[in-house]
């Protein structure tokens, strides 16, 4: 019988916790505080972004394209089965 009362007590405690948490979360005081905090961060980050320096682009013609495919094919190790596949008509 006492186990049943403990279960009701635990269930009641959980419901009270959820109710009080939801009541605080949806309260007008918390909503106003949240909006003030968000606007303060917005102003802070906007000021920080305006103070950033703009860097010049110095990456022109950095990439040099080399057609090394033929060199790679010549350096490639020859295998027996590749010669069998390539020379099917001989």
Q: What is the pLDDT along the chain (90 residues), one digit of tens a residue?
A: 789 999 999 999 999 999 999 999 999 999 999 999 999 988 899 888 888 888 888 888 788 777 777 777 777 676 777 777 776 555
* Interatomic CA distance for residues 85 and 90, integer angstroms: 11
Domain that includes residue 34, residue range: 2-86
- Stated pTM of the model: 0.46
- H/E stretch holding 34 reads helix 28-50
* Interatomic CA distance for residues 69 and 1, integer angstroms: 83
* Interatomic CA distance for residues 75 and 69, integer angstroms: 10
* Interatomic CA distance for residues 68 and 35, integer angstroms: 59
* Interatomic CA distance for residues 70 and 50, integer angstroms: 51
Q: How many domains are there within the chain?
A: 1
């Amino acid at each position: 019988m006492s186990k049943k009362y403990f279960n009701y007590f635990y269930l009641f405690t959980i419901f009270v916790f959820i109710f009080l948490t939801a009541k605080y979360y949806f309260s007008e005081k918390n909503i106003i505080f949240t909006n003030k905090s968000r606007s303060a961060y917005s102003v802070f980050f906007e000021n920080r972004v305006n103070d950033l320096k703009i860097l010049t682009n110095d990456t022109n013609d950095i990439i040099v394209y080399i057609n090394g495919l033929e060199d790679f094919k010549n350096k490639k190790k020859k295998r027996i089965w590749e010669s069998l596949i390539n020379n099917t008509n001989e």
